[in-house]
Amino acid sequence: MGFGYEIHPDVKRASTLPSAFYTDPCVFESSKDRVFANSWQFVGDVGMVKVPGQVHPFTLLEGSLNEPLVLSRDKADRIRCLSNVCTHRGNLVVEGAANLNTLRCRYHGRRFGLDGKFQSMPEFDEVEGFPCPQDDLTEIPMGQWRGLVFVGLEPPTSFDEWIAEIEERVGFLPIEEFRHAPERGREYLVKGHWALYVDNYLEGFHIPYIHASLNETLAYSDYRTVLLSSGNLQVGAAADGEEVFDLPLGHPEAGQRVSAFYFWLFPNLMLNFYPWGLSVNVVRPIAPDVTKVTFIPYVWRPELLGLGAGADLDRVEREDEAVVELVQKGLRSRFYDRGRFSPARESGVHQFHRFLAERLA
């Protein structure tokens, strides 16, 4: 099913996606596969499977894709991502994090190696053409970057290509040393469409109007958006006296006072780098008007927590939620359909809408 949305490539002439995109349940259901199934998604970090034999089951984009997967570190110390569905009758193979020598489905005893290869099955001696490659667990494309793990069911680009532009901007940071701080993590339920949440994230236009405290830490006139091949970057320029990155010579922003790198990777991943560390934000569609947002913090310099642009993320999030929920209500109006973009402040939103229109065509 195609929805025929068109977004003019020139931001000065373009209009936004129509309001039906954010309210139509059929469009919402279609976008699950068209938008999310063929994208790279954040899973966690290598600490989930530290030693050979460790396995970690998870559901990819629970509430949306709902794909059962499992990370395993095999005896050769290689991390893999596998389908967690038994190739016999569809039972889940791994039901909890564990240390194992093999993967065994407890429904009928089928066994697989930690690499997903079929090993054995009781009572199947007389089955013809068995086993075959379809009896192995499917291996899912996976990428590791600086200790972080990403997977894609049908990714449109190679992982190295996808992550290269992020590496160019923040590769100078010792990201492998950042410590996952689950006690600082947060999960929010937003009464709005997932793409509305992303729209809001992708522009600093609203900062002076919605985020009074954040606006004091930023030099709004120097705030800018850089379009990337798989998303975009908002460079948060710091106000005088605020904490900033010590940027190396040759860095694209060398000589500038930068307090935040806000990366968005299509469709639903934010990597927010602050002088204290990293906040990974994952946006999960639940319903046309319900979105779950998870903040996953990795702390580098704890003494800088509470300072600068990354000081009060919970307050900024709640301010964003309030306005996103109001927009969701407004989009149901009979008198609104499409708006226009500010070329100076909404190039990132325009890019997002173009990506969506291409996927849904």
At 57, list the tokens. Answer: 């089951």
CA gap 105, 247 in Å, rounded = 51
- Whether 343 is covered by a domain: the verdict is yes
pLDDT confidence of 361, banded at 50, 70, 90? confident
pLDDT of residue 174: 98
Q: Give the domain range for residue 46.
A: 40-152
pLDDT digits (tens, 9 = 90+) for 3-46: 668 999 999 999 999 999 999 999 999 999 999 999 999 999 99
Q: What is the pLDDT of residues 38-78, one digit of tens each?
A: 999 999 999 999 999 999 999 999 999 999 999 999 999 99
Q: Based on the domain organization, do 222 and 258 belong to the same domain?
A: yes
Backbone angles phi, psi at 316, to 5 degrees: -60, -40
* pLDDT interval class at 106 (50, 70, 90): very high
Specify the pLDDT at position 292. Answer: 97
pLDDT for 2:
52
Residues 198 and 259 in one domain: yes
Give the model's pLDDT for residue 3: 63
- Predicted confidence (pLDDT) at residue 1 exceeds the cutoff of 80: no
pLDDT at 158 over 60: yes
In a domain, 341, yes or no: yes
Percent of the residues in the chain that have a pLDDT greater than 90, as a whole number: 96
CATH number of the structural domain spanning residue 74: 2.102.10.10
Q: Render pLDDT for 313-325 as a digit per residue (tens, 0 to 9).
A: 999 999 999 999 9
3-state secondary structure of 134: helix
Residue 164 lies in a domain: no
Residue 165 token pair:
């532009």
Assigned domain for 8 exists: no
The answer to whether the beta carbons of residues 308 and 274 sit under 8 Å apart is: yes
Residue 211 and residue 139 in one domain? no
Predicted pLDDT at 239:
94
What is the number of structural domains in the chain? 2
Taking residues 167-192, what's their average pLDDT? 97
279 CB burial (10 A radius; 0-12, 13-18, 19+): buried
Q: Which long-range contacts (CB under 8 A, 24 or more apart) does 299-307 make?
A: 299/178, 299/179, 299/181, 299/184, 300/173, 300/174, 300/175, 300/177, 300/178, 300/179, 300/276, 301/275, 301/276, 301/277, 302/276, 304/243, 304/274, 304/275, 304/276, 305/276, 307/242, 307/243, 307/275, 307/276
Q: Where are the alpha helices (DSSP H) in 212-312?
A: 212-217
**pLDDT value of position 210:** 93
- Other CB atoms within a 10 A radius of the CB of residue 112 amount to 24
315: domain CATH number is 3.90.380.10
Contacts of residue 234, Cβ cutoff 8 Å, sequence gap at least 6: 202, 204, 223, 224, 225, 226, 260, 261, 262, 264, 348
327-353 exposure pattern, b = at least 16 Cβ within 10 A, e = fewer: bbeebeeeeeeeeebeeebbbbbbbbb
